[in-house]
Amino acid sequence: MNLIVAVDANWAIGLGGDQLCYIPADLKRFQALTTGHPVLLGRKTLATFPGGRPLKNRRNLILSADPAFQPEGAEVFRTMEEALNAAPADTFVIGGESVYRQALPFCDTAYVTKIDKAFPADRWFPNLDEDPAWEVTETEGPFEHEGLGYAYVTYRRRGLSEALRSTGHTMGFAPAPGIPVSSIDFSSDRS
Ligand SMILES: NC(=O)c1ccc[n+]([C@@H]2O[C@H](COP(=O)([O-])OP(=O)(O)OC[C@H]3O[C@@H](n4cnc5c(N)ncnc54)[C@H](OP(=O)(O)O)[C@@H]3O)[C@@H](O)[C@H]2O)c1
């Protein structure tokens, strides 16, 4: 699976239930990369979308333990295990923090927009620069929007051969190689 995230200089991703900032070119890139692919997200991230509606032209796989939560045009899963079983290998994990943390072991490619500023924040993404399991394979930029510098950095899980990537080894609820299922914490942030 893939993930896509925008992080600030401290790998922060959100404050008060919203994004830290909106960069139009980054939103377009998000649209271009994810359209036509399933997206996996938490109930709180869905609430940040216009009208709280699922994304168009994508299968929306949404996590919520609330049995009453049934938004139109989306599939709701009550556990991460169920969501992962339903998620094809070309799925993009799109947040927020709780979903990124649970799904990261199942991802092999991370599209990270790095924003060159430290914002006040209350949600973070794990720092992939400090995680030896990940390596940078591509960088585009730096770019600038209204004085805000940013770059697109692609990370891949180390040691994965192209053959493994293209066959979608993460299908069927299996973590990436080297990560025992027993080590994964599926508890969600219900705060
Ligand atoms: N910068 C970025 O790229 C980016 C991207 C996305 C989001 N964000 C930001 O991230 C923040 C939201 O992150 P968050 O961690 O607070 O919320 P979240 O991950 O979007 O959603 C959390 C909710 O998802 C459900 N959930 C998560 N894991 C589950 C599980 N294993 N089983 C069942 N349900 C599960 C629960 O819903 P119920 O409470 O209904 O059970 C939980 O309260 C916002 O500030 C948002 O703007 C930033």
**Do 14 and 99 form a contact (C-beta atoms < 8 A)?**
no
Pocket test for ligand 1, best of 44, 99, 124 (most atoms within 8 A of CB): 44
Q: Determine the pLDDT at residue 175.
A: 60
**Rounded Cα distance, 106 and 184, in Å:** 10
Ligand 1 atom closest to Cα of residue 13? 1
Is the previous residue joined to 142 through a cis bond, with omega within 30 degrees of 0? yes
pLDDT by 10-residue block (mean), the chain, 191 residues: 98 97 97 98 96 96 96 96 97 98 97 98 98 97 97 93 51 55 53 38
Domains of the chain: residue spans and CATH:
2-183 (3.40.430.10)
Angle ∠(184,154,163) on CA atoms, nearest 5: 70
The candidate with the shortest Cα–Cα distance to 1, out of 57, 40, 55, 59, is: 40
Q: Which one-letter DSSP state was computed for residue 159?
A: T
Q: Is the CB of 14 under 6 A from ligand 1?
A: yes
| Predicted local distance difference test score (pLDDT) of residue 160 | 72
Please give the distance, rounded to the nearest whole angstrom, from the Cα atom of residue 190 to the centre of ligand 1: 9
- Reported as type and span, the H/E element at residue 96 is none
Look at residue 162 in the predicted model and tell me its pLDDT. 54
pLDDT given at position 108: 97
- Rounded to whole angstroms, the maximal C-alpha distance in the chain is 45
pLDDT on residue 8:
98
